Amino acid sequence: MNWATVVQAIQWFFLLYFIVLSLSYVSLNLISIVSLSHYMSTRSMENLPPVYSNFELPISLIVPAYNEEATIAASVRAMLQLSYPEFEVVVVNDGSADATLETLIREFSMAPFPEAYRVRLQTQPVNAVYHSTIHPNLRLIDKQNGGKADALNAGINGSLYPLFCCVDADSILQRDSLQRLVQPFLEDASTVACGGTVRIANGCRISGGYLSRVGLPTSPLVLLQIVEYLRAFLFGRLGWSPLNALLIISGAFGLFRKETVIAAGGYRSDTVGEDMELVVRLHRTLRLDGKRYRITFLPDPVCWTEAPEDLRTLQNQRIRWQRGLAESLMMNRRLLFHPKGGAAGWLAFPFMVVFEWLGPLLEALGYGLMVFFFLTQMISLEALGAFLLAAIGFGLLLSVNALLLEELSFHLYERPSQLVVLFLVAVMENFGYRQLNSVWRLIGLMRWALGGKAHWGEMKRIGRGAG
């Protein structure tokens, strides 16, 4: 075998890799279009059958908080005003070093309450449990620091209701989010988890803890993330949901059946991707036990969150996400091609391994080798063009199509100028931003492979949710 044959084989390998990747996303896109069309025909709460009225299962909102003194009071006030028949807000102060605890006690007249705290999931020691004297459905668990997963487990231990919803302390929920998110649990008793959509609040107007006007940020970096989120949620997760193969529910907004999560062991504290790891573990344990279950996604319940506005914070976030992905898949590798794995083990898991876990390495090698071969005249301009069409062209198509789905379905961005800006961003993100993301993800993959210590890094927040 001569060198020319090796170069040709490498050329065809990467060309086919990007073609298969693009066709996989196109398939998810087609599934999403069908699912979204069906969902939009039944999304109105006013059109729900009367049998659902006043029969919603009670929900515990679990809010882990660490050094959130600037925004925690406004966030909790907004959560207390959610439109839902019966729910509680359980704030978990995870050993904050600032005045988070004192702020909550002062703003909501919290008093120690000697309730029976049942430890079903092991956590760091709990110092005290407080009840609000002015809001009967607000409680506070003060514990020693153990990280987000540990705080969530403490919240699960202290929760009263059969369903719990994880909400970040700086997130903004639409008033009817819980009403929409609970629908799958009402329609199918085997539902164990449901995720909603996370959108970016930068550039929006926040009033009284609620989003009052949808807008666009001035930061180009955040605009790029808006299109990225649209693509990830509107056909990434929506595409896997009908197959019962959804492996990711955002840690910022997910509803779970408490007893199922406790039986699976709760959240793991030894990973930075505790949200994805839990969902993959639920698939693995329930599939291998032969139990009937559903894990689903709805595009309409919306949680608004603040996105990074500087490169360093965004880089740390994406490195952390990639590492969490690697840890989640490795910890639950028994699901891969297991005879009982179903679509989760035979379609979604290998897709994640090849295109998301190892994707950054293969993409970096692909771009690097193909450009090197062209510069050294080992391949023709036509061959490089075919590769770039497969690597970039399909990505551009999918980004624009995600924006089109958003406009046809939810029409959140009403002004024509906003749509023009997002269209231009959807085109531009394929030329530099996606490749930069691949570099960051590759760093995360390498750090995981080398076994370096994982850490969250600092998230610089503007605090828009505090208004």
What are 74-131's pLDDT values in tens digits?
889 989 989 999 999 999 999 999 999 999 999 999 999 887 788 999 999 999 999 9
203 vs 466, residue with greater confidence: 203
Could you give the 3-state DSSP secondary structure of residue 135? coil
Q: Which amino acid is at 153?
A: N
Compute the CA torsion angle 272, 293, 168, 235 (nearest 10 deg).
90
Distance (Å) of CA 149 to CA 252, 263, 273, 274, 324: 12, 16, 9, 6, 13
Could you give the 3-state DSSP secondary structure of residue 64? strand
| H-state helical runs in 140-273 | 148-158, 177-181, 183-187, 220-231, 238-240, 258-264
What is the C-alpha to C-alpha distance for residues 176 and 182, in angstroms, rounded to an integer? 10
Q: What is the pLDDT of residue 281?
A: 98
455 vs 159, residue with greater confidence: 159
What is the C-alpha to C-alpha distance for residues 202 and 214, in angstroms, rounded to an integer? 9
Could you give the 3-state DSSP secondary structure of residue 255? strand
Could you give the 3-state DSSP secondary structure of residue 194? strand
195 confidence band (pLDDT: 50, 70, 90): very high
- 165 is written with which tokens? 């919803």
Least confident of 42-51, 310-319, 439-448: 42-51
Q: What is the pLDDT of residue 458?
A: 54
54 confidence band (pLDDT: 50, 70, 90): low
Q: Is the pLDDT of residue 382 over 80?
A: yes
Contacts of residue 278, Cβ cutoff 8 Å, sequence gap at least 6:
261, 264, 266, 267, 268
Could you give the 3-state DSSP secondary structure of residue 201? coil
First to last CA, the chain: 67
Could you give the 3-state DSSP secondary structure of residue 115? coil
What is the average pLDDT value for the chain, to the nearest integer?
Answer: 88
90: β partners: 62, 139
Q: Is the pLDDT of residue 346 over 50?
A: yes
Burial class (CB in 10 A: 0-12, 13-18, 19+), 40: middle
Q: What is the pLDDT of residue 251?
A: 86
Q: What is the pLDDT of residue 466?
A: 39
Picking from 145, 146, 185, the residue whose alpha carbon sits closest to that of residue 165 is 185
Q: In this prediction, what percent of the chain has a pLDDT beyond 70?
A: 94
Least confident of 74-78, 168-172, 358-362: 168-172
Q: Is the pLDDT of residue 327 over 90?
A: yes
- In angstroms, how far is CA 247 from the centroid of its own chain? 10
Burial class (CB in 10 A: 0-12, 13-18, 19+), 61: buried
Q: What is the pLDDT of residue 141?
A: 97
Q: What is the pLDDT of residue 292?
A: 96
Q: Is the pLDDT of residue 454 over 60?
A: no
What is the C-alpha to C-alpha distance for residues 257 and 264, in angstroms, rounded to an integer? 11
- 40 is written with which tokens? 């939009």
Q: Is the pLDDT of residue 459 over 60?
A: no
What is the C-alpha to C-alpha distance for residues 229 and 224, in angstroms, rounded to an integer? 9
Least confident of 133-137, 233-237, 405-409, 438-442: 405-409
Least confident of 81-90, 183-192, 215-224, 299-308: 299-308
Q: What is the pLDDT of residue 157?
A: 96
234 confidence band (pLDDT: 50, 70, 90): confident
- Quote the radius of gyration of the chain (alpha carbons, Å): 23
- 436 is written with which tokens? 């930069």
273 in Cβ contact with 324 (< 8 Å): yes
Within 3-103, strands assigned E span: 59-65, 87-94
Q: Is the pLDDT of residue 464 over 60?
A: no
341 confidence band (pLDDT: 50, 70, 90): very high
What is the C-alpha to C-alpha distance for residues 130 and 114, in angstroms, rounded to an integer? 8
Picking from 198, 212, 205, the residue whose alpha carbon sits closest to that of residue 300 is 198
Q: What is the pLDDT of residue 396?
A: 86
216 in Cβ contact with 426 (< 8 Å): no
42 vs 49, residue with greater confidence: 42
57 in Cβ contact with 182 (< 8 Å): yes
* pTM for the predicted model, two decimal places: 0.91
Could you give the 3-state DSSP secondary structure of residue 422? helix
Q: What is the pLDDT of residue 50?
A: 43
Q: Is the pLDDT of residue 22 over 90?
A: no
- 154 is written with which tokens? 């403490």
